[in-house]
Structure 1
Amino acid sequence: MSPEEFRRYGKQVVDWIADYLSTIESYPVGARTRPGEVRAALPAHPPEQGEPYEKVLEDVSRVIMPGITHWQHPSFFAFFPSNASGPAILGDLLSSGLGVQGLVWAASPASTELETVVVDWLAELLGLPARFRTDSTGGGVIQDSASSSALVALLAALHRTSGGEIRAGGITRRYTLYVSSQTHSALEKAARITGIGADNVRVVDVDPLTLAMDPGHLRSLVTEDIAAGAVPAMVCATVGTTSTTAIDPVAAIGPVCAEHGIWLHIDAAYAGVAAICPELRWINDGVAEYADSYATNPHKWLLTNFDCGVLWVADREAVTGALSIMPEFLRNQASDSGEVIDYRDWQVPLGRRFRALKLWSVIRWYGAEGLRQHLRTMVSLGDEFAALVSADPDFEVRPHHPFGLVCFRPLWTDEETMALLERLNDSGELYLSHTRVAGRVFLRMAIGAPSVTSDHIAKAWATIRRISRDMRPA
């Protein structure tokens, strides 16, 4: 494809995306295909000869689109939002066009240095402690997701806890990781990958009402494990759990970690960006005093398309000590001087995309004021929906919904509630997901699409009421 051909087809693709975003409400929210249907519509073998790009675009519309669940649809409420915005899409296009592999500073200095600026900007917006800045002992790095951030944090924790022994000799002792029943499954996966093992993931009790981690039970488990010869490696406290956005009490968990030298990781994948709003910065209580690492995902709620998760650490030496390997083909004067950051040492893979461009584009386009406005709008819409549900005696709302997620349920059996969920999603009018709290099924209304308005909230509730009344148990 020549530059002129790229120019011609590129304009068509940009127009296609703009048309899609401007007409997205005309689509049913969920995919309308059955398993195997998309595959069956595609050739079984690759083409022998190249095809005009018009044919590709035709098949996107004919084959691909019916199998798309429309995450940017204003009636998509199923999972945490995966925002895509104009500046983020354009930033991603610039990244793809440059084709940078930012594995070391020398491979593209601008890739590394823009990332250091952007993660420092975001740390400032969130009110994170100074030690997380790149001009201190720590710093930030853009990962693909909070799952990778948790894995890197756990590797750093093991490196620090073992005094570096694991780097050469592997795990020879029993190390333990502490989570709650509400912690994301990525932490257990990280325990499996690192060799800690799922059996050494210790599950801390939660408050039955708030679902927040119980610091007293954490202390008991840590004491018990140390007495049994185990080495506590890391505690993961969550700020905004996936299930209900429960918030673990970092300020009370932190002293337990500090007393025993345990790495404290904060998983704020969804809710962390809310701290850009001063009135929501209470979610950072205890972070400045106790956190060793902190992760949040701009690709969830901050208008930055997937993938873009940011991990900050207070001590970069723990991360690079765990992950740095210098093969001869990567040696260069800048890296050897120690004056630059090589982000390959801050992640599991060697190669890395120029993700900073899209986050930079978003922050510059919206500014702090625009980002706050978006977040406040989503919180306000969550409150609107909760008020609508609370006013209906046939439904109940889970208390504590400070962000854009509202958990609610009809006063039915779990089986009936799941049947309602299926009918709602089959309608094509909206898309929800569910969770289970204290043994009961709740529906999750996760609000966050950039185009959602009060009208969409009212329409969603009208659909829920209409279908629930049609299905009302005798």
Structure 2
Amino acid sequence: MKPTDAQSPHTTHTPHMDHDTFRALGHQTIDWIADYWQHLEDLPVAPPVEPGSIRAQLPATPPEHGEGFPALLADLERIVLPGLMHWQHPRFFGYFPANASGPAVLAELLSAGLGVQGMNWSTSPACTEVEQQMLDWFVHLLGLPDGFRGKGVIQDTASSAVLVALLTALHRASAGRTRENGTSERRYRVYLTRQTHSAAAKAAVIAGLGLRAVCEVATDANGAMDHADLESRIRSDLAAGLTPLMVVATRGTTSHLSFDPLEDIGPICRGYGVWLHVDAAYAGVAAVCDELRWVNDGVHYADSYCTNPHKWLLTNFDCDLLWVTDPEALVGALSVLPEYLRNAASESGRVTDYRHWQIPLGRRFRALKLWSVVRWYGAEGLRTHIRTGVRHAQLFAELLGADDRFTLLAPPTLGLVTFRLNGSEADNRNLLQTINANGTTFLTHSEHNGVIFLRLATGGTRTQDHHIHEAWHAVRGAAPPHIAAEAAKAEVR
């Protein structure tokens, strides 16, 4: 390698990066990531920046001539890094975790380097068959019904999964007529609750059903779907000439981890011929632990089911696992076959073409990072990671429970602690703002029955016990030293 090869592309006759330069800069980039991870906890979790301040530091026009990659790394550190929310920070406790891990990152790099397009089996057979095996591995790891074997696919997110499920349900309910005529022949209904992820309502909009198709079902005191109200609404819709299409049930809602009762909802869906989609995006992967298999209770009733290793199972975003019990309906809903995609393998009927199982045509080799994670950690390592997150939530709840200025809304569930300061809504909003502005810890908030509360979600790849104590120190330090407890506790009740 010439001394200046790593600095500029202008030393060669081609603008492409040569192998030696790529090798040298690759080492430098991996070193940069490793250094970032090593010193991550020294950075503020949330960026203290104003809107537009990052863009203002970027040139108004693109460079006319190529620049060396080290210049980009320098600007990454100078401009981009100060403007990032550090989701991999060990004291990032907002939303749900978005785990990254060494084996996943390395496999993502391998996937990018291979650059395969796995739309058909024939375009990269290994891309398809490794994915099929990974989905079957996870049927075993999560204790899912054996009927899911051979019926899984990797989507990008749970949002895509619910859209795919909805389109499949439409195809089945219309006996395939929606392919030709759209949805105008009938008025369909999609049932969900206030706690259901907004992606379900968005899927109804994208599918052309509109928000008028969305029917909000009542919930119980814990925010779980009321199955009696569900059945009542289905009956009313049938009487009104509407077609009940799909129920979206959640095992672990975003706000405060409500679990819709599948054992009650499932028979209703079966009885009325309604598609049951189960969204276990966050909680489902916890079933790698035998003692947490309850998160998937009743999943045998599901027509489709999804969960996200990219949240709590050490696999970089994006990676959603979706199983559909009727793949023929799925393929029927999404299959469009131009001549240029025809090939002997597909026409033999012996292979799976995953392009028919998703919205886009193209697909990345996502299964490679899943394979890498499972092989590096093993089932035992995955269980250890989940159990550590559960233990961390319990630890924080114990620390908080010893301070009478705070109230737990409920015992910690999996890796989520929901709590509030014993004060007004403004007091709680101010508390959250103070904690996050401090930069050492990041939390989010939600509301239940009109009451604001704070959320602390554990499960970060690099979070250790002392980070939980540091988070508690940040929460405790940001709270007023004295506050009237009883009135606020009564407000929660």
TM-score normalised by structure 1 residue count: 0.97
Query: Could you tell me how far 1:448 is from its partner in structure 2?
Result: 1.1
- 1:62 alignment counterpart: 78
2:87 paired residue among 71, 74, 80? 71
Q: Kindly provide the amino acid, as one letter, of the partner of residue 340 in structure 2.
A: F
Query: Could you tell me how far 1:81 is from its partner in structure 2?
Result: 0.3
Alpha-carbon displacement from aligned partner over 1:71-93 (angstroms, at most 9, x marks no partner): 01110001100000000000100
* Aligned counterparts of 1:59 and 1:445: Cα–Cα separation in 2: 33
- Contact 1:212 1:248 survives alignment (8 Å): yes
- 1:222 alignment counterpart: 234
- 2:220 alignment counterpart: 207
Q: Kindly provide the amino acid, as one letter, of the partner of residue 236 in structure 1.
A: V
Q: Which runs of 5+ in 1 are unaligned?
A: none
- 2:201 alignment counterpart: 188
* Aligned counterparts of 2:482 and 2:32: Cα–Cα separation in 1: 39
- Contact 1:245 1:401 survives alignment (8 Å): no
Q: Please say if 1:434 is aligned against 2:442.
A: no
- 1:453 alignment counterpart: 464
Query: Could you tell me how far 1:226 is from its partner in structure 2?
Result: 0.5
Query: Could you tell me how far 1:402 is from its partner in structure 2?
Result: 2.4
2:187 paired residue among 168, 174, 179? 174
SS class of match (1:105): coil
* Aligned counterparts of 1:428 and 1:103: Cα–Cα separation in 2: 43
2:288 paired residue among 267, 276, 285? 276
Query: Could you tell me how far 1:31 is from its partner in structure 2?
Result: 1.1
- 1:159 alignment counterpart: 171
- 2:398 alignment counterpart: 387
Q: Kindly provide the amino acid, as one letter, of the partner of residue 164 in structure 1.
A: G
- Contact 1:296 1:309 survives alignment (8 Å): yes
Q: Identity of counterpart residues, as a percentage?
A: 55
Q: Please say if 1:245 is aligned against 2:257.
A: yes
- Contact 1:178 1:235 survives alignment (8 Å): yes
2:477 paired residue among 451, 454, 466? 466
SS class of match (2:175): coil
Query: Could you tell me how far 1:472 is from its partner in structure 2?
Result: 5.6
Q: Kindly provide the amino acid, as one letter, of the partner of residue 99 in structure 1.
A: G
Q: Kindly provide the amino acid, as one letter, of the partner of residue 365 in structure 2.
A: F
* Aligned counterparts of 1:387 and 1:180: Cα–Cα separation in 2: 31
1:352 paired residue among 363, 367, 373? 363
1:148 paired residue among 157, 160, 169? 160
Q: Kindly provide the amino acid, as one letter, of the partner of residue 180 in structure 1.
A: T
Higher Cα Rg: structure 1 or 2?
A: 2
SS class of match (2:111): helix
* Aligned counterparts of 2:422 and 2:411: Cα–Cα separation in 1: 19
- 1:266 alignment counterpart: 278
Q: Please say if 1:364 is aligned against 2:375.
A: yes
SS class of match (1:37): coil
Alpha-carbon displacement from aligned partner over 1:383-432 (angstroms, at most 9, x marks no partner): 11112222221111121532101111001111221111111100001000
2:304 paired residue among 258, 279, 293? 293
Alpha-carbon displacement from aligned partner over 1:172-217 (angstroms, at most 9, x marks no partner): 2100000011000000000000111111111111112x21100000
Q: How do residues 395-414 of structure 1 correspond to structure 2 at under 5 angstroms?
A: 395-414=406-425
Alpha-carbon displacement from aligned partner over 1:69-114 (angstroms, at most 9, x marks no partner): 1101110001100000000000100000000110000000000000
Q: Kindly provide the amino acid, as one letter, of the partner of residue 182 in structure 1.
A: Q
* Aligned counterparts of 2:49 and 2:411: Cα–Cα separation in 1: 36
* Aligned counterparts of 2:64 and 2:305: Cα–Cα separation in 1: 49
SS class of match (2:202): helix
Alpha-carbon displacement from aligned partner over 1:425-473 (angstroms, at most 9, x marks no partner): 0000100000011100010101111111121111111111111026968
* Aligned counterparts of 1:471 and 1:264: Cα–Cα separation in 2: 49
- Contact 1:420 1:471 survives alignment (8 Å): no
- 1:124 alignment counterpart: 140
* Aligned counterparts of 1:370 and 1:402: Cα–Cα separation in 2: 21
- Contact 2:280 2:306 survives alignment (8 Å): yes
Q: Kindly provide the amino acid, as one letter, of the partner of residue 382 in structure 1.
A: A
SS class of match (2:479): helix
Q: How do residues 94-109 of structure 1 correspond to structure 2 at under 5 angstroms?
A: 94-109=110-125
1:133 paired residue among 140, 144, 149? 149
Alpha-carbon displacement from aligned partner over 1:118-175 (angstroms, at most 9, x marks no partner): 11101110011111111xxxx1111110000000000001111111111111002100
- 1:378 alignment counterpart: 389
Going from structure 1 to structure 2, the CA distance change for 1:397 and 1:342 (only over 3 Å counts) comes to: same
2:62 paired residue among 19, 35, 46? 46
- 1:332 alignment counterpart: 343
- Contact 2:195 2:255 survives alignment (8 Å): yes
SS class of match (1:469): coil
- Contact 2:193 2:218 survives alignment (8 Å): yes
CA RMSD of aligned residues (A): 1.2
Q: Which runs of 5+ in 2 are unaligned?
A: 1-16, 486-493
Q: Kindly provide the amino acid, as one letter, of the partner of residue 312 in structure 2.
A: W
1:30 paired residue among 24, 32, 46? 46
TM-score normalised by structure 2 residue count: 0.94
Q: Kindly provide the amino acid, as one letter, of the partner of residue 130 in structure 1.
A: D
* Aligned counterparts of 2:19 and 2:266: Cα–Cα separation in 1: 55
